[in-house]
Structure formats: structure tokens, C-alpha cells
Structure 1
Amino acid sequence: MKFGLKLWSINTNLVDQAVSLIDSKIFDYIELFVVPGSTIEFFSIDIPYVIHIPHDTFGVNIGDSSLDRHSLKLINESINWADSLDAKYIILHPGYGSLEHASCFLSKISDPRLLIENMPKIGLGGELMIGYSSAQIEYLIGDNEMGLCLDLAHAVKGAVSLGIDYKSYIKEFMNLDPRMFHISDGTLNVETDQHLNIGEGEYDFSFMQQCIDSSSTGFVTMETPRINLGSLAEDILNLERLRCILNYK
């Protein structure tokens, strides 16, 4: 496995700490969420990157035709970041609204690095999200070269909403050969996203490890909370907990 550290592009105060963690091989890459209006100069460092496109909080929603121009602008800005930083992948949330429009929108983007991230069925604001099932993800990918970023916690939440076994549900996504993964903890009685610390929820990480190990890739980004915005100590602790649970050296 290769473990990713999640940063936002406004976390410039954490760059030196992040580089040190990668140099010491605690983490293997940075997954960088591009906040609109931020600058790339602090991150122009020769380390491995994955880019995350802004999501609906920043008005990027490919399921809403009224936001097409804005969404495409910010997506293209993120692609430019990926080009500059030589990022391996570019992750996109499909948002909410029209599945058909989202599919049409994606046909305008030709980049084999693009990964569609699966979503919970229900958003934090009660929205019906696009991409909560493997069938929807397969429809969005279509005949394009793009792939799937399997957010394991999102898949669990989708299963909770549907009232079905989450392990069987995750296996359906595994049939799409995910190119990378997101991981965090959560409970099995809440259908919306939680992003709990490792060990604070109810997820079976041994099962999740089996899924990751069976894939053709080993990229796994930690998406656990960071309360102290001036330190990466919580990220290190969560990775240590996960390694301990998985007995992964």
C-alpha cells in the first residue's frame, strides 16, 4: 500500500511537515484539494501528488446544468495544477442533480488521470447524490479512459441508506477495478459522511484491506479529521492506528 496525506491548497503552513513525512516514508504522496483562488507556488516540490478538484461546497457540481461554466472553469484549473505538479490522478465528486447531465458533462473532459469518486446516497444537506452505486459510477465512466476512486466510507454510507450489507456493496464497486481509495472510520447507524478517526467507528478494516490488496493499485488516502490545523500529528496517529489494525509494517 501507498498511503496518502490529505492537504488543502490553503494549508501552506503544513508543507514543510508534509514533505518531511514523505521524505521519511511515513506517507507516500500528498492528495491536494485545490481551493479556488489559492496559489500553487508553495507546492511546487518534487514529491508525488494526487489532485482533488473542488466539490459542490465551491460550486462545482456536474449534475447541475446551471453551473456548467463555473464547474468547467474550476475543473480545468485543477487539471492545470495536476499538469504543473505531475500528479498521477485527478479526483472529481460527481455532485448531485441529474445523472444524465453529469454523464454528458464528463464527455467534454478527456483526461485519463480523471477518477470519479463514489458518494454516499444522501449528502450532508439532504441531497440525493450522484454516484452512490456501482451502476451509476459505471454509467458515468462509460467508454471513457477515466476510472474510479473508491471512497470506502462513502460506500458504507450508501449501503446504510439502502439498508443492505456494506461488504457486499463494496464488492460491487471492486468489480470496477478502482485505481485508488479513500479511507476513514464511521458508524453503521448514520447514513451521511462522518470521517471519524481510525478506531472510533465500526468499520471492518481487515475486510477493507482485503479489498485494497486485491486491487491493481495500492494508493490509499487517509481522510481522517485534523483538529489542530497547525500540525500533522493527528494524521500520523491515524496512520499508525490503521497500520496496527492491519498489522501492516
Structure 2
Amino acid sequence: MDLKFGLKLWSINTDLIDEAIALIDEKIFYYIELFVIPETDVFPFLFDVPYIIHIPHHKFKVNIGDSSLKEYNLHKIDESIEWADKLNAKFLILHSGHGSMKDAKDILYEIDDKRILIENMPKVGLDNEDMIGYSPGQIEELLDIRDFGMCLDFGHAVKAALSLGVDYKEFVQEFMKLEPRVFHISDGKLNYEKDEHLGIGFGEYDIDFFMRSVKRRHHNMVTVETPRATQKSLAEDVENVEKIYDMTKQSFKGD
């Protein structure tokens, strides 16, 4: 199955949308994963291109693991669902957050949208939070609440494996049994347990292993979550896709 790479944009990146559409027309990318920043407008993105919506996360006070934020969480999730409706988005991605597993389950019971995908987390947050959904078992519990799907962030899985002291490739394969529908790819170090999204080739992850894992499954949407030195161009995103192809060309030779 051919890989379909997605371009990550935030809803403040209105000046990049024309370049993004051109890259989709050129089939370098196949969809846009749009992170909804609160108090921004959907209007600049109303183009007939494939979208996935990423719901705001804890940096914008959306954290399903905190019952004190329940009303705010539901409001922001509903806003993202409205964006998804207007953009005809295939999926919405929701972080599993940090704090209480019970609180996370309680709020998920109130969300009824089959497009929702729950994204796995590292075990330890950037500010030393106790994250939720860092293991296949925890993610499965959350998915089963309303038959949600999963977004597998390979980097988050690696970081959780490092925290747990287990082989990250075996850990990823356990997540793959949950049939993720979307994947996130970036690079990172193998001696640091907290989240980092390095450019492809700037870390130590086995990118070829990740892509071979995707190719064996039914779903092939892979969002490239790598940094940009400038927010005025998508050239680095294109370079990261080219690096992925270079790292995997022997595995996929003849496909």
C-alpha cells in the first residue's frame, strides 16, 4: 500500500495554505492535518482538499484528564467538530492528555463522533506530568468507550518505551494491533524520555521500521510532524518527506 503523507499546519498558518495546496496538487502531500488554535477562523482554509483536524491540546488548556476543565474541554472539542464539518475532514485527533484516567473516560462518554481518533502519549510529560494513554492497554480502554479509532504517534510510543525500559519496536508492534488509522512521524533521541519532534535524520529512530509497519496495515495516512526553522515556507516539510523515501527505498524497492 502506498504511503500518503500529510502536512501539519496550525490554523494561524494562513499564509502557507496556497503553498500547501500546490504540494497536494503535486502529490507530495495528500492531505492537511490542521491544528485548531482557539479564537482563529476556519474561513481561510475553506478549500476542496483533504483534511484531518487536530483538536487543541493541553497547551491551550484542553486536557480530558482534568475534570475541572470538563466544560471547557467539551466546548473546544465541539468547536473542532464544527471545523471538521465545514472542511469535510475525515478524522479528528484528540490527545489522551494527563492526570486522571477516570476523568478522561468520563469526558469521552460524552463525545459522540466516530471520526475521533485518540492519540497515544509519552509516559512523562514535558513538565513531568503523568500522561494518560501511553501504553497499548490504556489506549485500548479509551478506544472502547465509544468505539473510537487511534492515531499512533511513533515518537510518543518510543518515549513511553524508554520510560518503561522496554524495546520500542516491540512496543510499537503492540500499538499496531489496535489498527491505527493515522500515524505521526518525526525523529528523536533514544536517551531522552520526553517528547521531541526532530527533523528526519536528526535523531536515532529507525524510520524504515516505522514505515514498514505502516505498509503492512490497512491504513496509510502518515502526518509529518517535524519542525520548521521558518514559518514562511514548507520547503523543510518537503525535505523531510524526501528523507523518509531515501531511508526506506530499499525496503519498498519494486513496490
Mark yes or no: TM-score above 0.5: yes
Residues in 1 aligned to 2:138 and 2:152: alpha-carbon distance in whole angstroms: 13
Residues in 1 aligned to 2:70 and 2:218: alpha-carbon distance in whole angstroms: 33
Do the aligned residues in 2 keep the contact of 1:63 with 1:97 (CA within 8 Å)?
yes
Residues in 2 aligned to 1:85 and 1:137: alpha-carbon distance in whole angstroms: 27
For residue 187 of structure 1, the aligned residue among 189, 193, 204 is 189
The RMSD of aligned alpha carbons is: 1.0
Deviation at 1:144, TM superposition (A): 1.7
Query: SS at the partner of 1:141?
Result: helix
The aligned counterpart of 2:36 is 34
Query: SS at the partner of 1:142?
Result: helix
The aligned counterpart of 1:102 is 104
Residues in 2 aligned to 1:124 and 1:62: alpha-carbon distance in whole angstroms: 17
The aligned counterpart of 1:23 is 25
Query: SS at the partner of 1:132?
Result: coil
Do the aligned residues in 2 keep the contact of 1:111 with 1:145 (CA within 8 Å)?
no
The aligned counterpart of 2:215 is 213
Per-residue CA shift, 1:180-235, capped at 9, x if unaligned?
10000001000011100101111111211121012210000000001101010111
Q: Could you list the runs of 5+ residues in structure 1 that have no partner in the other structure?
A: none
Per-residue CA shift, 1:62-95, capped at 9, x if unaligned?
1000000111110000000000000001000011
1:47-126 alignment, distance < 5 Å: 47-126=49-128
Do the aligned residues in 2 keep the contact of 1:122 with 1:128 (CA within 8 Å)?
yes
The aligned counterpart of 1:166 is 168
TM-score, L = length of structure 1: 0.98
Q: Which amino acid counterpart does residue 91 of structure 2 have in structure 1?
A: Y
Per-residue CA shift, 1:113-155, capped at 9, x if unaligned?
0000000001111101000000000011114231110000100
Q: Which amino acid counterpart does residue 166 of structure 1 have in structure 2?
A: Y
Identity of aligned residues (%): 56
The aligned counterpart of 1:140 is 142
The aligned counterpart of 1:130 is 132
The aligned counterpart of 1:4 is 6
Do the aligned residues in 2 keep the contact of 1:93 with 1:116 (CA within 8 Å)?
yes
Residues in 1 aligned to 2:214 and 2:227: alpha-carbon distance in whole angstroms: 22
The aligned counterpart of 1:235 is 237
Query: SS at the partner of 1:87?
Result: coil
Query: SS at the partner of 1:3?
Result: strand
Residues in 2 aligned to 1:62 and 1:92: alpha-carbon distance in whole angstroms: 9
Residues in 1 aligned to 2:243 and 2:79: alpha-carbon distance in whole angstroms: 35
Residues in 1 aligned to 2:208 and 2:41: alpha-carbon distance in whole angstroms: 39
The aligned counterpart of 2:15 is 13
**2:184 is aligned with 1:178:** no
Do the aligned residues in 2 keep the contact of 1:149 with 1:181 (CA within 8 Å)?
yes
Residues in 1 aligned to 2:115 and 2:9: alpha-carbon distance in whole angstroms: 19
Do the aligned residues in 1 keep the contact of 2:117 with 2:148 (CA within 8 Å)?
yes
Residues in 1 aligned to 2:132 and 2:218: alpha-carbon distance in whole angstroms: 25
Do the aligned residues in 2 keep the contact of 1:186 with 1:203 (CA within 8 Å)?
yes
Q: Which amino acid counterpart does residue 222 of structure 1 have in structure 2?
A: V
TM-score, L = length of structure 2: 0.96
Do the aligned residues in 2 keep the contact of 1:181 with 1:220 (CA within 8 Å)?
yes
